[in-house]
């Protein structure tokens, strides 16, 4: 047995108090995001965990990259036919989470995932490097493949087919926006008395703020 009970750390880098809260959580998320960027120590500040309920009834979490966020929600891109895409089609209720260890912060977002407009997916796809575009075409994401050689051969063939040509976005690849219903901000504090502030969306589209015990 690997005993991790002595792994302990005192969290002392910041605080989250009601006196410095904005009225909406997106403003606070934007503030935290850029503070983490400025503080450093995180390779990909936009890396987040997306948790879905799979077709087998089990939850599954994986790390993807946040590509945009607005007051409407949080946008990421994937293959719609992937395991996560099928899970979202069956149950669009998802959870996003960010863990920024360098500044002792977490953000947990419950929301509903919806496909974004095709022209928005087109615009983002066009901004990607050609290798990433062809990789999206080559991979039947989440399907079983017998060897990596098959993938590399598919990519090589696509590179030949599209040499000097525009690479179109596959219709099965695009973006989701997660429209938040609840956002919790977690700030590490000493003695495990962490700050937890939860924003919950109300029927009139205002946000209710509450402090949670740690």
Q: Which residues are catalytic?
A: 192
Report which of 208, 120, 209, 131 is spatially closest to residue 167, judged by C-alpha positions. Answer: 131
Report which of 15, 10, 34, 28 is spatially closest to residue 198, judged by C-alpha positions. Answer: 28
Consecutive H or E run containing 119:
helix 118-127
Helix axis angle, 130-138 to 148-161, nearest 10°: 120
Q: In angstroms, how far is CA 117 from the centroid of its own chain?
A: 18
CA atoms within 13 A on the CB side of 34: 6
Long-range CB contact pairs, 130-133, < 8 A, 24+ = 130/162, 130/167, 133/167, 133/169
The number of beta carbons lying within 10 Å of the beta carbon of residue 40 is: 10
In contact, 11 and 194? CB cutoff 8 Å = yes
């Amino acid at each position: 047995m690997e005993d991790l009970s002595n792994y302990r750390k005192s969290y002392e880098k910041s605080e989250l108090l009601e006196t410095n809260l904005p009225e909406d959580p997106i403003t606070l998320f934007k503030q935290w995001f850029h503070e983490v960027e400025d503080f450093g120590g995180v390779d990909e500040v936009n890396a987040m965990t997306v948790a879905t309920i799979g077709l087998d009834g089990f939850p599954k979490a994986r790390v993807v990259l946040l590509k945009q966020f607005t007051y409407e929600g949080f946008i990421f891109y994937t293959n719609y036919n992937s395991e996560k895409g099928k899970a979202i089609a069956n149950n669009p209720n998802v959870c996003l989470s960010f863990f920024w260890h360098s500044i002792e912060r977490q953000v947990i977002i419950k929301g509903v995932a919806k496909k974004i407009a095709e022209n928005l997916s087109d615009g983002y796809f066009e901004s990607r490097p050609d290798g990433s575009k062809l990789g999206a075409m080559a991979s039947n994401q989440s399907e079983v493949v017998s060897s990596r050689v098959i993938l590399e051969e598919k990519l090589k063939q696509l590179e030949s087919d599209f040499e000097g040509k525009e690479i179109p976005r596959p219709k099965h690849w695009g973006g989701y926006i997660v429209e938040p219903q609840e956002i919790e901000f977690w700030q590490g504090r000493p003695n495990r008395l962490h700050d937890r502030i939860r924003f919950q969306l109300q029927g009139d589209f205002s946000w209710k703020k509450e402090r949670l015990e740690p």
